[in-house]
Amino acid sequence: MADSIRIAPSILSADMANLQRDLDRIANADFIHFDVMDGHFTGNLTFGVDVLKAVKRVSDVPVDVHMMVTDPDHMADWFADAGADIITVHWEASTHLNRTIRHLQERGVKAGVVLNPATPVCLLESVIEDVDMVLLMSVNPGFGGQRFIPGTLSKLRELRALCELHGVAPMIEVDGGVSAKNAAQVVEAGADVLVAGSAVFGSDDPAAEVELLRAIGTAALRGAE
């Protein structure tokens, strides 16, 4: 488990007309969470490779690309070429998940798998030793500003137990409805990377909100040890 909690503000909640300004406001974040939606897997359409290239030009914060697409094998290399530091693909959309993970890692990109809220953790049994990150969705993917699904906490505990059983420690990320109100619970259940969109970019001081989430999460982490 990490020594401190890492915070990944989701630019899905940023002001696209002032993206560089908003990126500057979260320069203290650990990752930039970059949601890719193709209009099919989620019914929403978001960012392409040109936006990722622009983000990489103006920010030194590593970019965590979450691919909510129906054919990740077709698109993943585009985002690796554009500078993604981490790419996660959905179990529900991946026909050859082991091959996809291995291919991205061979390209020098950290690779992970995402589970939707209704997808059980036990399905990760065959890949848990191979991934750099597991992302649990705590809302149904597609739109920002949704409420956290409480059942995510039990899934986190199950995932942490699976990792311990296999003797591995991938990053465990949670995305959806995370804020200062529930960050401690999420960390205590097993997460060490918190995605926060509305909570960060909807605040008066995004940088301060990042620090607050990190402090709450890290205190919960140390209390759980």
Task: For tokens 């007309």, name the residue.
Answer: 17
β-strand 110-115 against 86-90: which pairing, if any? parallel
Active site residue 35: yes
CA-CA distances (angstroms) from residue 91 to 113, 174, 207? 6, 15, 32
Active site residue 175: yes
Q: Which of 35, 38, 64, 192 is catalytic?
A: 35
Q: Which of 22, 38, 175, 192 is catalytic?
A: 175
Q: Catalytic residues, which ones?
A: 35, 175
